[in-house]
Amino acid sequence: MVMERLSIGNLTAENCIIQGGMGVGISMSGLASAVANQGGIGVIATVGLGLLSNERQKGYRRGSIESLKEEIRKARRSTRGILGVNIMGALTNYADLVKTSIAEKIDVIFTGAGLPLELPGYLNGSSGTKLVPIVSSVRAAKIIFSKWLRNYNYIPDAVVVEGPKAGGHLGFKADQIHKQEFQLEDLLPDVRQLVDEYEANYEKKIPVIAAGGIYTGRDLLRFHKLGADGIQMGTRFVTTYECDASESFKNAYVNAEKKDIVIIKSPVGMPGRAINNTFIEQTSEGKQIPTRCMHHCLKSCNYKTTPYCIADALVNAQKGNLEGGFAFAGSNAYKNTHIVSVEQVFSALEEEYQDALNTSQYQTELNENTE
């Protein structure tokens, strides 16, 4: 592989590709280890794990801890590559998941959907786990960097900048999603500049990772040129054999057209991007799907007023019941037309990247010769 390498502290990934954590049950040990085996960083999403495994009889909190342990160990048995977990700040069991991941010696914790202001406090002297916040504004990055430094004398090991073309929950208000100033192309250079200042002042290399709507090797090169050291991708990995979702979930992607990718209002209190279906249409028209709250999984969800239980909806979809739920997806999901292997995704990215590199070198030479 000749795509760029990515180093986060003492960890070096052969390919600068991070597979975005995808809950509920979309990226578990299967997908994460397959990506790590290709030299990328594979990420297990922790949200909802306790609802999917055999551990669920132990109750939501205990079951989540046990299944996270099980998934990390399973992934470790399948790869010697770099593995991360994704833990959403909006989860009520955030602390459990962080502590478990650190105890299991996970390589990297990625955390978004809220400001992870207390995260470094969970590290103990000997843990080598890297901490990587996911931000959608330079303001959020500034707050995290300054609070971590002031309260813990800790600087993030890398930062993911996620733009509004991503799948799943978006860190933007609904009216910001399509505005130019909130697009990744505009956001990334601002975060890069902030990080450059910290790198210079504290002599620490802090990779900036771009995410949201990055699909081809050509996109990868474009965001490299805008200052990204690495790329986080979710959507393109969903339609792989190794992805942990059901066949029906993957087929929802394969069958989606561009017009089917929509923005929804999620009970989490943030907008989300998903593939439209009858469930989404009915709930957005006000149909209530009565629910008893069994898990109390989200800090921001009020089960008495929420139109449906998002945990149940996402578990249903993961298992293939798309009448009782829906598939989150990035803006490029309609480009997934076949189910392929993770290895094929990496080969295609490599080829597209090299093509783009050759074209851009050719363009530069052409421009130099005509000047």
- Taking CB under 6 A as the criterion, the residue among 330, 334, 349, 350 binding ligand FMN is 330
Please answer whether residues 81 and 344 qualify as being in contact, where contact means their C-beta atoms are separated by less than 8 angstroms. Answer: no
Tokens of 187: 């956001």
Candidate segments 143-151, 175-183, 221-229, 323-331, binder of ligand FMN by CB under 6 A? 323-331
Cα-Cα-Cα-Cα dihedral sign, residues 281, 287, 293, 294: negative
Give residue number: closest CB to ligand FMN: 20
Apex 90 CA angle, 83 and 143, nearest 5: 85
Letters for 140-179 (x = contact with ligand FMN by CB under 6 A, - = none) are: ----------------------x--xxxx-----------
Alpha helices (H) along 94-246: 94-103, 138-152, 184-202, 217-225, 235-238
Helix (H) or strand (E) holding 343: helix 342-370
Query: Residue 186 Cβ, how far from ligand FMN at the closest point, in Å?
Result: 17
Nearer to ligand FMN by C-beta: 77 or 259? Answer: 259
Residue 367 C-beta: closest distance to ligand FMN, Å: 31
Near ligand FMN in 59-118, by CB under 6 A: 86, 88, 112-113
Q: Which stretch binds ligand FMN (CB under 6 A): 53-61, 68-76, 226-234, 355-363?
A: 226-234
Task: Indicate the residue among 124 and 165 with the shorter CB distance to ligand FMN.
Answer: 165
Cα separations (Å) of 323 from 25, 65, 123, 256? 18, 29, 42, 15
- Looking at beta carbons only, is 25 or 39 nearer to ligand FMN? 25
Q: Which is nearer to ligand FMN, 108 or 329 (CB)?
A: 329
**CB neighbour burial string for 201-231, b if at least 16 within 10 angstroms, e if fewer:** eeeeebbbbbbbbbbbbbbbbbbbebbbbbb
C-alpha span between 187 and 174 (Å, rounded): 17
What gap in Å lies between CA 139 and CA 233, rounded to an integer?
23
Angle (deg, nearest 10), helices 217-225 and 342-370: 50
What would the x/- binding string for ligand FMN be over residues 266 to 305, using CB under 6 A? Answer: ----------------------------------------
Residues found near ligand FMN in the complex (CB under 6 A) = 20-23, 26, 45, 47, 86, 88, 112-113, 134, 162, 165-168, 211-214, 232-235, 328-330, 332
